[in-house]
Copies of this chain bind each other. A is one copy, B any other.
Amino acid sequence: MDVPGLQEFLDAAFPADLPYVVEGISDAAVRLRLAVDESDVRPGGTVSGPSLMALADCAAYLAVVGQIGPVALAVTTSLHIDFLRKPPLVDVVAVGTVLKLGSRLGVVDVALHTVADDALVAKAQVTYSIPPR
Protein backbone atom coordinates (compact mmCIF):
# COMPACT_ATOMS: atom_id res chain seq x y z
CA MET A 1 0.00 0.00 0.00
CA ASP A 2 1.08 3.60 -0.59
CA VAL A 3 0.55 6.75 1.48
CA PRO A 4 -2.78 7.88 -0.09
CA GLY A 5 -4.13 4.33 0.07
CA LEU A 6 -3.25 3.97 3.72
CA GLN A 7 -4.73 7.37 4.58
CA GLU A 8 -7.92 6.49 2.74
CA PHE A 9 -8.12 3.17 4.56
CA LEU A 10 -7.63 4.96 7.90
CA ASP A 11 -10.29 7.58 7.20
CA ALA A 12 -12.79 4.93 6.08
CA ALA A 13 -12.12 2.61 9.01
CA PHE A 14 -12.64 5.31 11.61
CA PRO A 15 -15.52 7.56 10.57
CA ALA A 16 -14.88 9.88 13.51
CA ASP A 17 -12.40 12.63 12.77
CA LEU A 18 -9.05 11.04 13.53
CA PRO A 19 -6.22 13.57 13.92
CA TYR A 20 -3.68 11.36 12.15
CA VAL A 21 -1.79 12.04 8.93
CA VAL A 22 0.05 9.24 7.13
CA GLU A 23 3.42 10.71 6.19
CA GLY A 24 5.31 7.77 4.80
CA ILE A 25 5.42 4.04 4.21
CA SER A 26 8.33 1.79 3.32
CA ASP A 27 8.98 -1.94 3.33
CA ALA A 28 8.51 -2.49 7.03
CA ALA A 29 7.72 0.94 8.46
CA VAL A 30 4.93 3.51 8.58
CA ARG A 31 5.28 7.13 9.68
CA LEU A 32 2.18 8.72 11.23
CA ARG A 33 1.76 12.26 12.55
CA LEU A 34 -0.59 13.38 15.31
CA ALA A 35 -1.83 16.92 14.70
CA VAL A 36 -1.84 18.00 18.34
CA ASP A 37 -4.81 20.12 19.47
CA GLU A 38 -6.31 21.19 22.80
CA SER A 39 -7.81 17.74 23.43
CA ASP A 40 -4.25 16.35 23.73
CA VAL A 41 -3.04 18.87 26.32
CA ARG A 42 -2.10 17.87 29.84
CA PRO A 43 -1.52 20.33 32.68
CA GLY A 44 2.08 21.50 32.47
CA GLY A 45 1.85 22.11 28.74
CA THR A 46 2.60 18.63 27.47
CA VAL A 47 0.92 16.04 25.27
CA SER A 48 -1.10 13.55 27.31
CA GLY A 49 0.00 9.94 27.80
CA PRO A 50 -3.30 8.60 26.40
CA SER A 51 -2.79 10.67 23.22
CA LEU A 52 0.67 9.11 22.82
CA MET A 53 -0.67 5.60 23.45
CA ALA A 54 -3.49 6.05 20.93
CA LEU A 55 -0.98 7.30 18.35
CA ALA A 56 1.36 4.36 18.99
CA ASP A 57 -1.53 1.92 18.64
CA CYS A 58 -2.67 3.46 15.36
CA ALA A 59 0.86 3.58 13.89
CA ALA A 60 1.39 -0.08 14.76
CA TYR A 61 -1.97 -0.99 13.24
CA LEU A 62 -1.14 0.80 9.99
CA ALA A 63 2.29 -0.83 9.85
CA VAL A 64 0.57 -4.23 9.93
CA VAL A 65 -2.15 -3.20 7.48
CA GLY A 66 0.53 -1.80 5.17
CA GLN A 67 1.93 -5.32 4.97
CA ILE A 68 -1.16 -7.53 4.89
CA GLY A 69 -3.42 -5.17 2.93
CA PRO A 70 -6.59 -3.21 3.63
CA VAL A 71 -9.07 -6.06 3.83
CA ALA A 72 -7.75 -7.65 6.97
CA LEU A 73 -9.01 -6.92 10.46
CA ALA A 74 -6.14 -7.04 12.93
CA VAL A 75 -6.85 -6.70 16.64
CA THR A 76 -4.45 -5.30 19.25
CA THR A 77 -3.65 -8.00 21.79
CA SER A 78 -1.08 -6.15 23.88
CA LEU A 79 0.74 -2.85 24.10
CA HIS A 80 3.77 -1.93 26.15
CA ILE A 81 4.97 1.66 26.27
CA ASP A 82 7.79 3.44 28.08
CA PHE A 83 7.39 7.20 28.45
CA LEU A 84 10.82 8.77 28.13
CA ARG A 85 10.52 12.57 27.95
CA LYS A 86 7.69 15.07 28.28
CA PRO A 87 7.01 16.37 24.78
CA PRO A 88 6.38 20.05 24.16
CA LEU A 89 2.99 20.99 22.67
CA VAL A 90 3.82 20.38 19.03
CA ASP A 91 2.88 17.62 16.59
CA VAL A 92 4.13 14.13 17.45
CA VAL A 93 5.40 11.62 14.91
CA ALA A 94 5.27 7.84 15.36
CA VAL A 95 7.36 5.46 13.30
CA GLY A 96 5.99 1.93 13.41
CA THR A 97 8.36 -0.81 12.26
CA VAL A 98 7.14 -4.38 11.80
CA LEU A 99 9.44 -6.74 13.76
CA LYS A 100 7.54 -9.90 12.91
CA LEU A 101 4.56 -10.76 10.78
CA GLY A 102 3.57 -14.35 11.34
CA SER A 103 0.46 -16.22 10.36
CA ARG A 104 -1.17 -15.41 13.69
CA LEU A 105 0.70 -12.52 15.30
CA GLY A 106 2.33 -9.32 14.19
CA VAL A 107 4.73 -7.42 16.46
CA VAL A 108 5.54 -3.76 15.84
CA ASP A 109 8.14 -1.45 17.37
CA VAL A 110 6.94 2.15 17.62
CA ALA A 111 9.25 5.11 18.22
CA LEU A 112 7.67 8.49 19.05
CA HIS A 113 9.31 11.88 18.78
CA THR A 114 8.02 15.39 18.15
CA VAL A 115 8.45 17.47 15.02
CA ALA A 116 10.75 19.67 17.15
CA ASP A 117 13.62 17.16 17.25
CA ASP A 118 14.59 13.49 17.08
CA ALA A 119 14.72 12.84 20.84
CA LEU A 120 12.39 9.94 21.65
CA VAL A 121 9.42 10.88 23.82
CA ALA A 122 8.13 7.32 24.08
CA LYS A 123 8.85 3.81 22.81
CA ALA A 124 6.32 1.02 22.42
CA GLN A 125 6.05 -2.62 21.41
CA VAL A 126 2.61 -3.60 20.15
CA THR A 127 1.20 -7.03 19.25
CA TYR A 128 -1.65 -7.70 16.85
CA SER A 129 -3.65 -10.82 16.25
CA ILE A 130 -3.76 -11.44 12.50
CA PRO A 131 -7.02 -12.86 11.15
CA PRO A 132 -6.85 -16.05 9.07
CA ARG A 133 -5.98 -15.10 5.49
User: Among A1-9, A48-56, A62-70, A88-96, which stretch is in contact with chain B?
Assistant: A48-56
- A53 nearest in chain B by CB position: B53
Q: Which residues of B have CB within 8 Å of A123?
A: 99, 107, 109, 125
CA gap between A107 and B123 in the complex, in Å: 10
Contacts of A105 in B (CB 8 A): 77, 129
Number of interface residues of A (CB under 8 A): 36
Residue of B13, B49, B76 near A76 (CB, 8 A) is B49
Chain B residues with CB under 8 A of A100: 82, 84-85, 120
Is residue A116 within 8 Å, beta carbon to beta carbon, of the partner chain? Answer: no
What CA separation (Å) do A54 and B57 show in the bound complex? 12
Instruction: For A38, list chain B residues within 8 Å (CB).
Output: 16
* Residues of A that sit less than 8 Å from B by CB: 13-14, 16, 38-39, 41-43, 49-50, 53-54, 57, 75-86, 99-100, 104-105, 107, 109, 120, 123, 125, 127, 129
